[in-house]
A and B are shown apart, each in its own frame.
Chain A
Amino acid sequence: MTSPLQQKLKINGPVVVTANRLADGAVVYRGEGGWTTKLDSAAVTASAAVVQDLLAAARADGLHAVDAYVAPVQVTEDGGVRPGNLRERIRSSGPTIDLPLQALRAKVDHVPVR
């Protein structure tokens, strides 16, 4: 969870290239020639050469997304793609805590949230 931007490139398994969308900061993943917010649609590879290409394309596309880096993923048996560590899990599905409004609503409705 050290900032991946500072890590050296070492591919030990399947990875994706991820970044933040310029306009709103949303988490995006590099897919076929563009960006997607869905991890399942991201280009997954375990090849250092492919990753270099993806990264180069990502960084050349600074108009749409910024601070691209390589993130580990896990590929499930049915071909689904899951985040490969806690940081990427949080980036993918949001904070692990209730946001205040949800918590307040939960108190009011007595309905467990998340």
Chain B
Amino acid sequence: MYLYDELDRTLVGERVAEFRGQVARRLSGELNEDEFRPLRLMNGVYLQLHAYMLRISIPYGTLSSAQLRMLAHVARRYDRGYGHFTTRQNIQYHWIKLEELPDAMADLASVGMHGMQTSGNVVRNITTDQWAGVAPDEIEDPRIWAEVIRQHVTLHPEFSFMPRKFKIAVGTSRHDRAALRIHDMALQMHRNGAGETGFEVMVGGGLGRTAFIAKTIKPFLHKRDVLSYVEAVLRTYNQFGRRDNIYKARIKILVHELGAEAFAKEVEAEWQSIKDGPLALDEEVVADIASRFRYPAYARLQNSPAELAEAPGGDRRFEAWIGNSVAKHKVPGYAIVTLSLKPEGGTPGDVTAGQMDAIADVADRYSFGEIRVGHEQNLALPHVAQRDLPAVWRALNAIGVAIPNVNLITDIIACPGLDYCSLANARSIPIAQEITRRFRNLDLARDLGRLHVNISGCINACGHHHVGHIGILGVEKNGEEFYQITLGGKADENATLGTLIGPAVPYAQVADLVEDIAAAYIELRERPDELFIDTVKRTGVEPFRERVYAAR
């Protein structure tokens, strides 16, 4: 849990005051919309179909219970009683009024939260995986480095008007749970031959109209050099990224057009000039930031405590939840609990104010007051004692966030789509809802196993459909909603873009088609425990295409 100090709080407070002034100047007409738009975007304020949308930054997906309660308050007081967790570990509100925004932001600032740089052509929320700091397989807590970079790029005078947005992710486990390779820039921690830890730097990943997997431009960067190297990449991008065409302005296009090697050389040349300057990180500065991450005073506990063995007397639902939603923790006797925000018929990632408050209470009682947000649009409680799992399950079950469908076919990632978003071509939420109904049977969902479905309502790919095991992309044909289906995408350390399996199908057929894909998998798999994604890899998409499109 990063503790803001007085300096951090002052900055956020000054930002609120500045925005209040900017809103006043807009409402009075002193600023027109063209002048105001980039300013409101820099605070995460979009204009959508029905209302303004406010996106609040949740740095590396970490929330205190006090912060979660404030998010509930904002939902109640300024919105329609709920919020939406996004694929970048942020939260969005869809019914905000411009004239009330400064007050909402002042309330959020009181707990150190803000919408700074959640939109606009700046560096956006720096993401990690939601198990940061507690995952057994991480080298060190990636959030420390995310915070080091976050501070540096916040209101950075040189990089506030870049060609386009810039998304950074940091990982320190071999297994990539943060989708590093679809980011503009990613830092992956490694140990080198001398036992030192440093970062592999990858750039140029991204989805959207032209999807790319990031390329490695620096195999090993010493920690001391992180900020100067990030600066060199941003400066190269700021100067040479395309400004003539909004669809070709991301760094992935620059890297593609120059070639990764040539791009790496440009960055290296710039970096050599600045690496020993003020941005060189001395250990004192990093230690200072690291010291502001507070870790719980864990009790000395054993794994598999008696309380777990005696759990809610053979309650199958509890057992299913333990097997599905509870993961190993680096500290003995503890566990990481995932809260599924994917109920049958629900909107993926939506949480009501009442649920937020209730989850905050559970976090206070059983997770040292801390909650995490994952890019899969689920939450997590990162510090649960195993002996408390029965009580936690009962509490979460009552809130409706203990459905044991994590990583299963009904654990869908979906963007808001045409129901909310002015960029969309088609709806995504009703598609997700129908799929959750078709696969409501948990035995069936468990039999299908790990199966990531990603739905995007337009080519901007906020639902990350390119890297879904099953990817669904909404398009428009003659005023009707149609959907293209891809198979075989992956977002992890073996990141791959999915393959189209056939012509787009109309809205009413999508859920049928997904059922046919599931049936095809069951037929084609070598063994029941061959994962869907591995079957697709083994067979290719052709056998799926044949079966699914046979009758269409």
A interface residues, Cβ below 8 angstroms from B: 1-3, 20, 22-27, 62-63, 66-67, 85-87, 90-91, 94-97, 99-101, 103-104
Across the interface, B33 reaches (CB within 8 A) one of A2, A27, A67, namely A67
Write out the residue numbers on chain B whose beta carbons fall within 8 Å of the beta carbon of A91: 49-50
Please, could you name 17 A-B residue pairs with CB atoms under 8 Å apart, sorted by A?
A1-B425, A1-B426, A1-B476, A22-B26, A25-B51, A25-B52, A27-B49, A62-B32, A85-B479, A86-B479, A95-B429, A96-B430, A97-B347, A97-B429, A97-B433, A99-B81, A100-B350
Q: Which residue on B lies nearest to A5, using beta carbons?
A: B422
Q: Which residue on A lies nearest to B423, using beta carbons?
A: A3
Give the Cβ gap from A86 to chain B, nearest Cβ, in Å. 7
Across the interface, A100 reaches (CB within 8 A) one of B33, B99, B346, B418, namely B346
* Contacting pair B419 A96 (CB below 8 A): yes
Q: Which 7 A-B pairs have the closest CB atoms?
A: A95-B419, A24-B97, A25-B51, A25-B52, A100-B82, A101-B81, A66-B33
* Contacting pair B47 A20 (CB below 8 A): yes
Q: Which residue on B lies nearest to A87, using beta carbons?
A: B418
| CB neighbors of A among B69-83 (8 A) | 80-82
* Contacting pair B481 A25 (CB below 8 A): no
| CB neighbors of A among B344-372 (8 A) | 345-347, 350-352, 354
Q: Which residue on A lies nearest to B29, using beta carbons?
A: A63
* Contacting pair B351 A100 (CB below 8 A): yes
Write out the residue numbers on chain A whose beta carbons fall within 8 Å of the beta carbon of B350: 100
* Contacting pair A101 B82 (CB below 8 A): yes
Whether, in the assembled complex, B324 has its beta carbon less than 8 Å from a beta carbon of chain A, the answer is no
* Contacting pair A1 B81 (CB below 8 A): no
Known A1-B418, A1-B426: A24·B52 in contact at CB below 8 Å: yes
Whether, in the assembled complex, B48 has its beta carbon less than 8 Å from a beta carbon of chain A, the answer is yes
Known A25-B98, A27-B49, A67-B33: A103·B419 in contact at CB below 8 Å: no
* Contacting pair B418 A104 (CB below 8 A): no
| CB neighbors of A among B389-423 (8 A) | 418-420, 422-423
Write out the residue numbers on chain A whose beta carbons fall within 8 Å of the beta carbon of B285: none
A49 to B345, CA, bound (A): 47
* Contacting pair B425 A66 (CB below 8 A): no
